[in-house]
Amino acid sequence: MKSVLNIELLNKFQAVAQGPDGDLLINLLDILYARIADQENDDQYLSPDDLEAIRRGQEDMQGGRFLSLEDYRSGKRL
């Protein structure tokens, strides 16, 4: 079954690549392929705890609970 899907995908790809949108398809494929390569070479990831901390920080910023870098450097605290 997998080879049938691959053949169908290849046929569709070839049809689009030979048409007026061929350049667009190739550019999109290059972008997607680069993303995969970047992900494979990326040994860093965000843990669930990291994502939760980012979410809380975004909520704090939206609620006005933050200091500017200038205020922080001058010693102000929340």
As a whole number of angstroms, the distance between CA 31 and CA 37 comes to 10
Q: What are phi and psi of 14, to 5 degrees?
A: -65, -40
User: Which pTM was predicted?
Assistant: 0.43
The confidence band for 26, taking pLDDT boundaries of 50, 70 and 90, is very high
Q: What is the pLDDT of residues 30-76, one digit of tens each?
A: 998 888 877 766 656 677 888 899 899 999 988 988 888 888 889 88
pLDDT of residue 1: 60
Q: Which residue ranges make up each domain of the chain?
A: 2-44, 46-78
Task: Name 39's Cβ contacts closer than 8 Å, sequence gap at least 6.
Answer: none
pLDDT of residue 42: 64
Structure tokens given for 37: 């390569």
The confidence band for 17, taking pLDDT boundaries of 50, 70 and 90, is very high
pLDDT top residue among 36 and 7: 7
What is the C-alpha radius of gyration for the chain, rounded to an integer number of angstroms? 23
Q: What are phi and psi of 64, to 5 degrees?
A: 80, 15
